[in-house]
Amino acid sequence: MDMIIKNMDEIFKILGVCYELLYENEELNQAFNNYKLLDEKEDEILKTIANINQESILYDKYYWYTKFMKYHKYNYGEDAGIEQKQFRLIEQMSQQLQGGVDFTILHNIEETMANQDEK
């Protein structure tokens, strides 16, 4: 899957948001911070960055959260609360996307994660 939002680091800079180091694993930190930025600063991103729309943010939030969940599970084991949050994200998307959730995109995200495991 091609990422809709290409340069998350640039968004951190534009919004003046600091990257938090919460975990020892860099991939886990990156995935969590990118998800958190999109989740907490959605309105600010929409107002500030012209080429990003709500649909992009919602699917990217799902992408980064799914990636976070994958790395968290690998490093710390299963966590039902983290997995439940992924389902809540889908519910949120279904309420906010006018045409509903495109489950093909979600499937592609899941496949991307599975293919990354094989590499």
In a domain, 15, yes or no: no
In a domain, 86, yes or no: yes
In a domain, 87, yes or no: yes
In a domain, 77, yes or no: yes
Length of the chain: 119
SS3 content of the chain, % helix, strand, coil (to 5): 70, 0, 30
Structurally, the chain folds into a number of domains equal to 1
Non-local (6+) Cβ contacts of 65 within 8 A are: 31, 35, 85, 86, 89
Could you read off the pLDDT tens digit of each residue along the chain, which spans 119 residues? 445 677 899 999 999 999 999 999 999 999 999 999 999 999 999 999 888 999 999 999 999 999 999 999 999 999 999 999 999 999 999 999 988 999 999 999 999 888 876 55
In a domain, 13, yes or no: no
In a domain, 39, yes or no: yes
In a domain, 61, yes or no: yes
